[in-house]
Amino acid sequence: MDRSNLYRRFRTLLIANRGEIACRVIRTARAMGLRTVAVYSEADRDAMHVALADEAVLLGPARARDSYLNIERLIEAARKTGAEAVHPGYGFLSENAEFARACLDAGLIFVGPTAGMMTAMGSKSGSKALMEKAGVPLVPGYHGEAQDEATLAKAAEKIGFPVLVKASAGGGGRGMRIVRSAAELGPAIVSAKREAKAAFGDDTMLIEKYVDNPRHIEVQVIGDSHGNLLSLFERECTLQRRHQKVIEEAPSPTLNAAQRETVCAAARKAAGAVSYVGAGTIEFVSDGKDVFFIEMNTRLQVEHPVTELITGIDLVEWQLRVAFGEALPLKQDEIRLNGHAIEARVYAENPTKSFMPSVGRISTWRLPEEAGGLRIDAGYRQGDTVSPYYDAMLAKMIAWAPTRDAAIERLNRGLENSDVRGIVTNIPFLSALMTHPKVRSNAIDTGLIERELAGLTAAGAAPGELELCAAVAAIVNAERGTAQDDANSPWRTFGWQPVGRRQRSFAFRVGHGPEHKISLNYGSGPSTLVIGERELAFAMAPKEGGFDLTLDGVKSSVAAVIDGHELYLRTRNGRFDLHWVDPFGGESEEHVGEDKIAAPLPGTVVAVLAAEGAKLEKGAAILTLEVMKMEQTLRAPFAGVLKAIKCKVGDIVQEGVELAEVEPIGE
């Protein structure tokens, strides 16, 4: 086989991915003068990455295995468009040695390590064996080839509980389970294997000692084909939920200069064991005293922007230059650490409902401008649809500042000034996390979010005087906006009426809570708002995304979105969702009981965990769905008898479809 195609100059790049990372790669490639080719599934026909690229090729149906994971179709897309190189992004096939090999066989440059390097380091089991031989410290564990349940159970018993069951080919928390007793091990292995197979096509497992209260430290490395291998400092990725990173920052606030050099040297040693070429990340776990190697990711990481902001290096550009066959432009001692950067992952998910993914059309997309140290890497726009077939990440918000405290403040300000509607996002949760005193003081570990979850997802404050006045102003502003379209409408002038003075009454509520009443007085003279016994002078000046509201001489900025009778407001007091009670009656709402065991989102039934007629305790697992590449287990809402299972393994179910019926005991 001709290996001369491994590294050479090219003009056309195919990005074998979607969403935020595809957009990210396209922007740098275009800035370098490259022609870009996007690929897409039927669900992504109108996606942002498709619009950004010079050309785009349809791969197939929405399911990843029929599109983004289909190697033959990706190679054919490159052939059709004349692409000479492929950038895999992260996720999907980015760490798949078979894909890297197929690209080489097709005469394509794979922007990443070789298949051999990927096999050696991309496998968590294989890399641990290699690191053990190289003398890099490891977490005690089992990473052997035997995968039968008896072998895994014996290994777990020898290591000692708690243990971590982990997909060897995994990432992003998929195929990973914490197991604290022997009784939990069997079901955890079955579930982790099933999830790993669906996400990565490989259900090989490893078991390692679970480090309680750990910190997650990782080091960015990059190597070229001339024997140069650099580390670009470390990142702290300790703030996680279910092994999925939520917040990442660089450098780590935990390490001093000496510790930093030690861990970076260990990372270079680890990557050097395979003469690594391309961008990669060496991941470590710390128990507060020692640092242990856990795995290498042979690709770009989601959190790479924080490294870029503290070094001034465009990692995607360096990846492409390495693929051109160029030498890295800097030496190790020329890389400088400047300031602090922190990143938050914005997801389409509902933190108040166990982070259930949210799907639908994005009706409003307002994120702050990228300026003053704030960067936003997004894969969606207003009008785009979030489907249930892929990862739920919408964007990343990254802030840089000279100090950690200033970077946190800048990031939180960006989150507070973001409004995304039509779907539910984790933005309020991220803001609550950024303002948590333990995060500010760096008193964190990987379990902090789970321990503090109740406070981080607590309901916001009830609407006050400002919010009720803003709700009225939002309605009047919307009505006046409609009138502006008619040049002859008298309503173009706020508060217009033919004669005299009138009063208009409004009522709002939060959810199914009590009504809050407020009146608007308008006509001749200044307009006022009346709440109870208080009357406030009222003025409003519309602006993009909302209006300036002046109450008794105090001006406040308000962001507002109205969808029928549903109002979203953002004031200085936070975010508020209000329902405008229909002034003409006719309110009809469906009250769905919590006893309905229904699909929360479109998904696939992957396991039925209880039999019809079984007596169930409250919280007992009934069945498992695969939704957005993650497993969601539906549980009994109360103690009862499982009267009926209305689905079977393999069924593709739509949102709201009833899947099981539980009859309360005693009824």
Task: Give whole-number Cα distances, 101 to 95, 249, 620, in Å.
Answer: 11, 34, 45
35 is catalytic: no
d(CA 330, CA 16): 28
d(CA 667, CA 663): 7
Q: What angle do CA 592, 607, 605 make, to 5 degrees?
A: 55
Where do we find the tokens 């606030």?
253
Q: Do the beta carbons of residue 422 and residue 362 sit within 8 Å?
A: yes
Using alpha carbons, select from 303, 332, 333, 331 the residue that is nearest to residue 315: 303
Task: Give whole-number Cα distances, 113 to 101, 134, 264, in Å.
Answer: 10, 20, 20
* Selected catalytic residue, list 241, 268, 299, 410: 299
b/e burial code for range 45-68 (CB count within 10 A of at least 16 → b): eebbbbebbebbbebbeebbeebb
Q: Do the beta carbons of residue 581 and residue 508 sit within 8 Å?
A: yes
3-class secondary structure, 396? strand
End-to-end Cα separation, the chain, in angstroms = 72
d(CA 73, CA 58): 9
d(CA 78, CA 57): 9
The Cβ of residue 6 has, within 10 Å, a number of other Cβ atoms equal to 14
d(CA 270, CA 397): 30
In angstroms, what is the C-alpha Rg of the chain?
27
Strand 163-167 and strand 85-87: the pairing is unpaired
Please state the separation of Cα 551 from the chain's center in Å.
Answer: 39
Q: Which residues pair with 347 in a beta bridge?
A: 393
Q: Do the beta carbons of residue 202 and residue 169 sit within 8 Å?
A: yes
Element (H, E) at 397: strand 393-401
d(CA 600, CA 653): 10
Q: Do the beta carbons of residue 91 and residue 172 sit within 8 Å?
A: yes
Q: Is the dihedral of CA 235, 241, 242, 244 positive or negative?
A: negative
d(CA 185, CA 152): 9
Contacts 24+ apart (CB under 8 A), 596-599: 596/658, 597/622, 597/634, 597/636, 597/637, 597/658, 597/659, 597/660, 597/661, 597/662, 598/656, 598/657, 598/658, 598/659, 599/625, 599/653, 599/654, 599/655, 599/656, 599/657, 599/659
d(CA 280, CA 441): 30
d(CA 206, CA 123): 10
Could you give the residue numbers annotated as active site? 299
